[in-house]
Structure formats: structure tokens, C-alpha cells
Structure 1
Amino acid sequence: MPVFKDQIGNSVFLSNTPKRIISVVPSQTELLFYLGLDQELIGITKFCVHPADKVKSVAKVGGTKQLNIPLIHQLKPDLIIANKEENEQSQIEELMAYYPVWISDINNLEIALQMITQIGEVVARTAVANNLVVDISRQFNYLKSADPALRAAYFIWRAPYMIAGTDTFINHLMGLCGFRNAFEEGRYPQVSAEEIVAANPGVVLLSSEPYPFADKHIAEFNKLLPHARIMLVDGELFSWYGNRLLQAPAYFNSLINTLQ
């Protein structure tokens, strides 16, 4: 019986190559489709939106943090792909009592690439996964760097304001772009308007997800930080850690170019 280690150190036992897979992580759902597992994916979350032409026909098993456990039982998966941060620990532990569950835990690019390789092995798509890792690594070799003096704040939520702190995958990608995080602690701390003004970032990045920041919010931040550059950014390219990383370096370079 094949045994695979996941990214939190658990041993995942599989009797055969999985044929009934449920993914409860949007970026990893997209990765599984990229690896060619269209027929094997039998369940995904309502937040799994890519690729748009394929996800609509797959059963939805709830949200990432509110899984429909009875429906998952009905689908009888032989593998569940989850993530330590994006899913609720209690629900994942409940599922682990019945099914093999492979859990990722990602906070930097190297670990994201390891995840792609490891999932490729678990689902018997090793060659495609390895080629993807090579392609992503090549793209990141062309990544430019912003002015190292630029301090940036990356907002993920409004009312209350929440930012991506230093212990996050988002912060790691910001660092690869040359940005220094204006908030140096925590994962996703809530911050007040006064704390934002005191941090005084030179660049404010307003993410498209999970809160959908839009043009109408730019004026709000201009009032708080009249001298900062306020930019709407694609949250998927800053936080999705599957094949979407192929697109990230070119996108980051375009952002950096607008600041020069």
C-alpha cells in the first residue's frame, strides 16, 4: 500500500491511484484540473472558480470552512486534498477518520513548488507536475524588484480593516517583488485607521479577494494616506499557490513598472 507524507507530516495511505478526488482548496482544485484530473474530481467547494468551464459541472461540497460532511460521505471519495490554513481543523480531522486526506501547509514559493510535486506523485501525474514546477521557476527568474525603500500594506478585508502580515504566503511573494511589509507581525491582523496612518506605507495594495476591493475604495484610502500609491491588485496572483503561479511574475512585473 503506497504511503505519502503530506506537508504537516501525516502519513496518507492509498490502496490504489485515487479515482474519486475531492478538493476543498480553490487553488489546488485548479491545479488538479491542470494535471488532467477532470474525470477524477468529483467534489469541490463553492469557492473553486477556476477553470470556469470545468468547475461548474462538479458537485459543490460547501465552503472551505463550512464543508457539507454528509454530501462528502455520499460522494465516497478515495482522496481529499485540503490545506491547513484554508480549512477548519475539526472538519478535516472528522474526515480523516473515514478517508485519506492530504494536507498542504504553504508559506513560501519553495514549499508551494514542493506541494505541486508531491500532489503530482499522489495522483500519478508526476511528469506534468514536475514540468509545471520547472516552468514556474523559470518565470520567477525574470521577476523584477521594486524600490527596496518601498514599504507596502496588503489589505484583505474592510470593516474591519485586515492586512496580510509577515507570516503569510502573500508576504513572501511581496518580498520577492521587493516590497517591505509595513506591518511586521502576525498573519492577518485587524488594524485601525490610526494604525494604518502610523504605519505610513508608501504603497497600499487592495486585494480583489477575499474582500472585493474596487475603484470606489481608493478615495477612502487616499484620505488616510494622501501620499501613498493606492493600487487594486489581483488577489489570486498574490495568494493562489498552484499553476496560477505561472502568471504571477509577469503580473508582478507590470505592477512594479507602474511604480517606477
Structure 2
Amino acid sequence: MMQVKDQLQRTLVFSKPPRRIVSLVPSLTELICDLGLKQSLVGVTKFCVHPESIRTQADVVGGTKQVHFNKIKALQPDVILCNKEENTKALVESCAEIAPVHVSDLNNLDDCLELIGMYGDLFEVEPKALKLVSAIEEAHRNFKAFIKNKVSLKVAYFIWKDPWMVAAQNTFVDCLLKLNGFENVFANLERYPEIALDDIELKEADLILLSSEPYPFKTAHKMTLEKQFPKTKVLLVDGEMFSWYGSRLLNAFDYFRHLHKHGLH
């Protein structure tokens, strides 16, 4: 019998190390695969696009907000992986009637490294987890040295349109904006507020970032905002790099370096 805690400090009990995994979070699906556990994934969401082959190998059980509980139950999972932000409390509670649910709660880099360590222990892949944590820490150190003397820019990061929504404080996106040396003009607000395009804070931004997800901003949206804010630089950015945690961070630091070198000028 083994007991573990998730990032909400909930205690989960397992009779043996879990081998059959259902992941209801795309970035955690990628992390599980990068820990060498791809063959253990029996269920994923329709949004689990990395690695590309995973939706053909594992059963698709729905999305991140709505799932087919009968499909999950039929897979007889040993554990279900969820996230406080991406999955609803009701979904987690229903999943808990099927199998233990490990819930992540990620707002900063330390939370991400902690989760990788938790998965290393839970799935008995400690060496791979330690290696991944070490690689992310090194990439982070190198990136901090790279941006050390960069000029700080005031930034607005859009995640949605109709209504317009931005990433504010207490979000993983805001953590990565700070890591890039950016000052979030909406840091006085919480989570993902709706804003108006005539908002006074938005007029202070040196840079507007339009994310590729969850709303798929395109060139037409960029051109619209460029007309409205002719003195502000507007960029389309890869939302996965700014909002996916886990092993995606290894790619994110290279992406951020390229952004600073080629995108901000």
C-alpha cells in the first residue's frame, strides 16, 4: 500500500504503483510520454496533440472540461491525471469515483519541477524525472543570463476574443512573462479577466502578445490591433510555449531566446 499527495495536498492511496494512466491535460500527456511512460497511457483528451501519435495509441475520452466517464471507466485506469485550472472540480469528483485522481496546481516554475518529481516517485521513473528537472533548471539558468541586461517591456498577453481576455496575475502565463523580463500591464487583476480595448492599462503596453491558444489568433487579428495601437508592437506567439508546463519548458526557453533576438525589434 502506498500513499502520495498531489499538489492540492490531497492524499491518494494505491495498492501498487499505477500502470494504467488516463491524462485529461494535454501538457501532462506530453510530460508522461517524455518520462518514458507512453505505453502506460490508456486514455487522453482530443486536445492531447503531443506527441502526434498519442491519440491513435490511447483512447480519446473527451476534452478537458467534458469527458465520457463510461469510456474512462471501461479503460480501468489506476490513476487519472487532472489540473486545477484546466479541469473542473465536478469533473475531478466524478473521476474520483472511478480511480484515484492526481491533481496538479501550477503557477510557477517551482510548481512544475515539484510535479515532475512527484510523477517520478509515483510512476517509479525517478532517474528520468531527476534528469528532466536538471535539464530545465540548467536551461532556466542560461536564459536568465541571456536576458539579464535586456530592457524591460510592458506587455499585454491576450488569450481570447469576444470577449477580449488577458492573462493577469496568479497564472502560469504571468510567471513566464516575468521570466522573460516583461512587466504585465494587467498584473493588478486576477487570473483571466475580460477587458475592453480602450482600457487605460492597455494603452501603456509596449508590446501586445496574441496567443495561438486557447483562442487561435491569426494575422487578421494582429493587423486589427496594429491599426488600433499604431505605436505598440503586436506579435503572434506560440501559446504552448507560454502556458504548457512540464517537459515543454525545455523547448520554451529556446523559443523565448529566439523571440527576444528576432521578434522584439
TM-score (normalised: structure 2): 0.94
Letter of the 1:106 partner, please give it.
L
Structure 1 counterpart of 2:252 = 248
Cα distance change of structure 1 residues 133 and 153 upon mapping to structure 2, 3 Å threshold: same
Post-superposition offset of 1:200: 2.6
Post-superposition offset of 1:97: 2.7
Structure 1 counterpart of 2:173 = 170
Structure 2 counterpart of 1:57 = 57
Unaligned runs of 5+ residues in structure 2 are none
Structure 1 counterpart of 2:214 = 210
SS of match in other structure, 1:193: coil
Structure 1 counterpart of 2:232 = 228
Tell me if 1:257 matches 2:258.
no
Letter of the 1:59 partner, please give it.
D
Per-residue deviation, residues 104-131 of structure 1 (Å, max 9, x unmatched): 0000001111111101111111110110
Q: Which runs of 4+ in 1 moved over 3 A?
A: 146-149, 196-199
Give the Cα–Cα distance (whole angstroms) in 2 for the partners of residues 21 and 108 of structure 1. 25
SS of match in other structure, 1:238: helix
Structure 2 counterpart of 1:219 = 223
CA contact (8 A) 1:8 1:104 kept: yes
Unaligned runs of 5+ residues in structure 1 are none
CA contact (8 A) 1:42 1:58 kept: yes
Letter of the 1:65 partner, please give it.
K
SS of match in other structure, 1:247: helix
CA contact (8 A) 1:197 1:225 kept: no
TM-score (normalised: structure 1): 0.96
Post-superposition offset of 1:241: 0.4
CA contact (8 A) 1:169 1:239 kept: yes
CA contact (8 A) 1:147 1:179 kept: no
SS of match in other structure, 1:153: strand
SS of match in other structure, 2:39: coil
CA contact (8 A) 1:136 1:246 kept: yes
CA contact (8 A) 1:148 1:180 kept: no
Identity %: 42
Cα distance change of structure 1 residues 135 and 78 upon mapping to structure 2, 3 Å threshold: same
Cα distance change of structure 1 residues 110 and 198 upon mapping to structure 2, 3 Å threshold: closer
